[in-house]
Structure formats: C-alpha cells, structure tokens
Amino acid sequence: MLAVVAVALVVAEVGWLRASAARKARETELTAELEEERAARSEAAKANEHLETRMRSLRNELTEAHQTNAELTARIGRANPSEGSRALGLWALERHRQARLASTPLLGLAVGPGADLTVGLTEAIRVELELLREEVGTHAELATLELGDSVDAHEALTILRIVQELTSTLAKRADELQVHVGREDRDATVRVVAVGWADPPPNASAFESGLAALDGTLDLRPDPDTDDTLIAVVRLGSPDRD
C-alpha cells in the first residue's frame, strides 16, 4: 500500500515539474514576444516622429517659399522684353528653390538668351506637384503641357506660379488634381480639374487680384458632366489681344 502511495506521489511530482517547466518556457516565450513588440513600437514611434519633423520642416519651407514667390509674381507683372535676362535669373532662382525643397540635385539649367524652357517648365511643374502631394496628400499630376512655340523665362515663371497657387488653393478639398497647360489663340492657359470636389467654388479674390496685374482671368465652374468635379481655368493675356 505504501509503495503504491509513493509511486503516485512520484508521478504527481514529475507531472508538476513538467507543467512548471512548460509554464516557465511559455513565460520566457511571452516575455521575448513582449520585448519584440516594445522594440517594434519604439522604432515605429521614432520613425513617426522623424516623419512629422520632416513634414513640419517642409511646410515651413513651403510657407517661406510662397511668401518669396509673391514678390516674384509682382516682379513678373512689372517685367518687359528688355528685362529678359532678369526673368531668366528669377527662373533659375525658382528652379534652385525647388531643388532644395525636393532634396534633389539640379544637374543642368538652360538659362541662356533665347532658351526654350518647355522641358524645364514640365519638370518644374512635376516637382511642384510632388511637393504638394507630400504636403497635403492629394494626388496631383501634369496631364498635358502643349504650348507650341518655345517658352521664354517670363512666361515659364508666370505659368509655374499660377500652377503653384491654383493647385494649393484646390488641393485640400479635392481627391485628385489634373493639370493641363496649353494655349488658346496666343494666350497661355492653365486648367486644373479637381476631382472629388463636393463644395461650392472657393473664394479666390486674392488670387484674381494678382492675375489682374498679369492681364489674366480666372474661371471657376463645376464640371457640367460630373457631379463631384470643379474646373479652374486661368487665361493669361488680354482677352481682346489681336
């Protein structure tokens, strides 16, 4: 009888030891998983903090750039053909500003007299829309750029500034922006299609006052064929130009 009891006690103790070992192994495993989770959360927090810092820095730089660009717009309005070299200098400064904001090298820049800036304008608009996507999160793309004859620095900088301001005005309340640059007669036009727009047209009186100095007009209207799309069209040059 005592032998049976002793055997039972031994079996019970062995079972308890095994269960205890299993519990300890599981505790060790859970502790390791918890440490991994903590480490992952710490890394995610650091990455998020870095991203927020980068976004704040970018927003501050963009704010500063827009303030500087207001002065550039005023200079464009006062420019005349005899100041072509000054317009080229302003264009070069604008492209260097973009390169700094986008953290990309500017490998080449055509700024000589008579330079055709069509390619440079295309690149500049695409960079600007990429910066806008980083700042606001709205997808924006250059759908078409068809200006025909060569583009000088004065016109290129004017068009770029209009794209900057018009897309910034529309980006926060649209799901997607499509930018079209072209000509009607001899007048340059910038058309921005704001997809996913559910609000009334925005108040753009300040923007229109700047356009007036450039003999430009702004037309904001809902797309007649789509319920949630707003179309903004800027036309540069006097409407009664021959």
Residue 17 in domain = no
Residue 166 in domain = yes
> How far is CA 28 from each of CA 34, 35, 38, rounded to the nearest angstrom?
10, 11, 15
User: In the prediction, which pLDDT does 63 show?
Assistant: 60
How many domains in the chain?
A: 1
Domain that holds residue 193: 81-235
> How far is CA 71 from each of CA 98, 138, 144, rounded to the nearest angstrom?
16, 27, 28
Q: What is the CATH number of the domain that holds 115?
A: 3.30.565.10
Give the pLDDT confidence of 108-160 residue by residue, as tens digits: 445 444 456 788 889 889 988 998 998 899 999 999 999 887 788 888 888 99
Residue 115 in domain = yes
Residue 32 in domain = no
> Which residue type, as a one-letter code, is found at position 124?
A
Residue 138 in domain = yes
pTM of the prediction?
0.59
β-pairing, 176-184 vs 187-195, is antiparallel
Residue 48 in domain = no
User: In the prediction, which pLDDT does 46 show?
Assistant: 80
Residue 65 in domain = no
Residue 199 in domain = yes
Give the pLDDT confidence of 151-205 residue by residue, as tens digits: 888 888 889 989 998 998 899 899 999 999 999 888 899 999 999 999 899 888 8
Two tokens, residue 124: 């500049």
| CB count in 10 Å sphere of residue 88 | 22
Higher pLDDT, 224 or 29: 224
